[in-house]
Amino acid sequence: MFKLLSRYLKPYWKATLMAPLLMLLEVYMDLLQPKLMASIVDQGVLTGDLAHIQKTGLLMAGIALIGLIGGVGCTIFSSFASQYFGADVRKDLFHQIQSLSFQKLDQFHTGSLITRLTNDVTQAQTFVQMLLRFMVRAPLLTIGSLIMAFTISYQLALILVVATPILFGVLFVVIRKGFPLFSIVQQKLDRVNTVLQENFSGIRVVKAFVRADYENQRFGRANEEFRDISTKANIVMATMMPIMFFLLNTSIVAVLWFGGLRVWNYSMPIGDLAAFINYVTQMLASMLMVGMMMMNISRAKVSSDRIQEVLDTAPGIENSAHAISPSTMQASRIVFDNVSFAYDHEEWVLRNVSFTAEPGQTVAILGATGSGKSSLVGLLPRLYEATKGTVRIDGVDVKELDLHSLRSRIGMVMQEAILFSGTIRDNIRFGKPDATPEEVEQAARAAQAHDFIMGFPEGYDTKIGQRGVNLSGGQKQRLSIARALLIHPAILILDDSTSAVDMGTESRIQKALKMQTRRSTSLIIAQRISSVVEADKILVLDEGVIVAEGTHAELMQNSRVYQEIYRSQLGKEDVLHA
């Protein structure tokens, strides 16, 4: 927690310093009040000195006003520091998540990352405000009240010497038991957010398969687990309050008992007893305040550790010390040299993959679901890192290329068409924000998207709902293709990007792509043989291994696996005449 606080409060050190200084002023003013009240009682009320009462009363009012200024000032500066602290943590946390490789992102669930960006940051932010206000006020008021109590009567102050260690002991025991529970609380909250995120993203699937009851039960279980552990943690922390109240009241009763005897024996003025009781109340109440904040402090510690865990996570894929930034955007030569890949070094997804794509060629990748097609193309822009072997572009290992330059040369259409809320135009020019309307339209025409776009009343300015909810699957895929084509990539990767369009539209897209990508080297993942028959080279993947390679004609002659795929899709007679 200290690491997070020191890093993100340093830019706002003035506000961080001013808040406790102003709180010190308020506490000092509060500590003067009981002494002045004792003076009014002993030297004013008991002696009938009205002038002294008026003079001291005005002084108390002035001191209260100064204390008010200190309190308000502390609130202003602590709010400033805590809000800017929270904003900076959120910004850096979001930036850090953006920089993580896919392999690192897989270590965190989406729901957990959302919790860390929202609830955990809020917990840490609230702690900062408490730290600069109440966590400054409580110890200062405790120490100050104890000192002032000793100046009045060291015999009565011994009661506090006995009560204080007991109070601290209760705090220590409760914190020790409660802290581990709050770590579990945040984990259970992660689970709730993960279920929510999955359910809201897939709500149409849930409804289509009539699984609302199942999802309700799944969320119910996650919610109940979160409720139960939260209740347990809160009960542990709540047991502290009755104990501390008991100690507080017992201490006050003891002070009244022994102090009353001293007043009765004329060894202590009644005003001093009233002041002493005030100091005892202030001291024990401030410790009670710390006890009440322990729950928030415990949660803040857990949240800070979770935030720091993400911030300390290495991106996984970074630029080398002497990264190369190629300036050319011409079609590139791609070489996979004996490449193997495994997620977290477990079972191999790709094994000894070797092939070459010459500049301007179209290389198609065919294979069953789970054969490693998407993993293979993901190695090219370094979304994942090859476990063994080398991936080279124009003779240079991709690990030696500047990440920004590398990825800016690659146009990629993912298997799942992801769109963002905004207009159609904004989505198409996502990779090139300064694109002209003509360039946007040209890319849309090539992707066979222009006609359906113009069918909307607002055309390219049509608003897209979250994740493209108001578009069909085929429309989303065509917009994704247009987005990739707009940047005129040196390498174009199409990951099963026409699976949701009809064969006629797919044929027109392929013809347009051939014209648009003359200066691009293309890697196309497809499920349908009709999508790859005109490719310059076809790779057939089976369980992470290239089992066949060649043109459509060559594979129809030499590859039984390819023939079986062809037969399953187009029929036996077509195989004989192919």
Which pLDDT score is estimated for 64? Answer: 92
Report pLDDT digits (tens) over 32-58: 888 888 888 878 887 888 888 889 889
Q: Which residues does residue 411 pair with via DSSP β-bridges, in sequence order?
A: 492
Task: Tell me which of 207 and 382 has the higher pLDDT.
Answer: 382
Give 575's pLDDT tier (boundaries 50, 70, 90).
Answer: very low
Report pLDDT digits (tens) over 351-370: 999 999 998 888 999 888 88
CA dist., res. 476 & res. 480, Å (int): 6
**Other beta carbons less than 10 A from residue 412's beta carbon:** 22
CA dist., res. 321 & res. 290, Å (int): 50
One DSSP character per residue, 89-107 reads: HHHHHHHHHHHS-HHHHTT
User: Angle of helix 154-201 relative to helix 212-238, nearest 10 degrees?
Assistant: 170
CA dist., res. 317 & res. 336, Å (int): 19
Which pair of tokens denotes residue 302?
A: 């857990």
Which pair of tokens denotes residue 57?
A: 């009363």
CA dist., res. 420 & res. 430, Å (int): 9
Which amino acid is residue 203, in one-letter code?
I
Q: Which residues does residue 550 pair with via DSSP β-bridges, in sequence order?
A: 538
β pairing state of 537-542 and 545-550? antiparallel
Q: Which residues does residue 524 pair with via DSSP β-bridges, in sequence order?
A: 364, 494
List the helix and strand counts (H, then E) for the chain: 22, 12
Give CATH 3.40.50.300 domain extents, the chain.
Answer: 321-409+523-578
Mean pLDDT of 255-277: 82
Q: Of 200-214, 377-391, 434-448, 518-532, which range is least confident?
A: 200-214
Q: Which residues does residue 564 pair with via DSSP β-bridges, in sequence order?
A: none
Please list, in sequence order, all residues whose beta carbon lies within 8 angstroms of the beta carbon of residue 511, skipping any fewer than 6 positions away: none
Which pLDDT score is estimated for 180? Answer: 79
Q: Which residues does residue 548 pair with via DSSP β-bridges, in sequence order?
A: 540
Give CATH 1.20.1560.10 domain extents, the chain.
Answer: 2-181+237-311
Give the whole-number percent of the chain exceeding pLDDT 90: 22
Question: Helices in 327-472 by DSSP H: which ranges?
Answer: 373-378, 403-408, 424-428, 437-446, 450-454
Give the whole-number percent of the chain exceeding pLDDT 70: 95
Average pLDDT score over the chain:
84
Interior/surface letters 494-520, b for 16+ CB within 10 angstroms, e for the rest: bbbbbbbbeeebbeebbebbeebbeeb
Helix, coil or strand: residue 418: coil
Q: Which residues does residue 396 pair with via DSSP β-bridges, in sequence order?
A: 393
Report pLDDT digits (tens) over 401-438: 888 888 888 888 887 788 888 899 999 999 889 999 99
- The distance of Cα 524 from the centroid of its chain, to the nearest Å, equals 33
Task: Tell me which of 291 and 522 has the higher pLDDT.
Answer: 522
Rg of the chain taking only CA atoms, in angstroms? 35
SS (H, E, C) 365-391: EEECCCCCHHHHHHCCCCCCCCCEEEE
Main-chain dihedrals φ then ψ at residue 302, nearest 5 degrees? -60, -45
CATH number assigned to the domain covering 321-409+523-578:
3.40.50.300
pTM (2 d.p.): 0.74
Which pLDDT score is estimated for 93? Answer: 92
Which pLDDT score is estimated for 147? Answer: 86
Which pair of tokens denotes residue 85?
A: 């602290």
Taking the alpha carbons of 207, 210, 215, 216 in that order, is the dihedral positive or negative? positive
Which amino acid is residue 90, in one-letter code?
R
Give 70's pLDDT tier (boundaries 50, 70, 90).
Answer: very high
Which amino acid is residue 25, in one-letter code?
L
Please list, in sequence order, all residues whose beta carbon lies within 8 angstroms of the beta carbon of residue 243, skipping any fewer than 6 positions away: 170
- Range picked from 82-91, 155-164, 487-496 for highest mean pLDDT: 82-91
Evaluate if residue 577 carries a pLDDT over 50. no
Q: Which residue has the tokens 């290329």?
A: 401
Task: Tell me which of 288 and 304 has the higher pLDDT.
Answer: 304
Which pair of tokens denotes residue 438?
A: 């003509």
Cβ atoms of residues 22 and 71 within 8 Å: yes
Name the architecture of domain 2-181+237-311.
Up-down Bundle (1.20)
- Range picked from 82-91, 147-156, 397-406 for highest mean pLDDT: 82-91
CA dist., res. 276 & res. 296, Å (int): 31
Q: Of 78-92, 183-197, 533-547, which range is least confident?
A: 183-197
**Other beta carbons less than 10 A from residue 573's beta carbon:** 9
Main-chain dihedrals φ then ψ at residue 402, nearest 5 degrees? -60, 130
Which pair of tokens denotes residue 165?
A: 């260690």
Which amino acid is residue 206, in one-letter code?
V
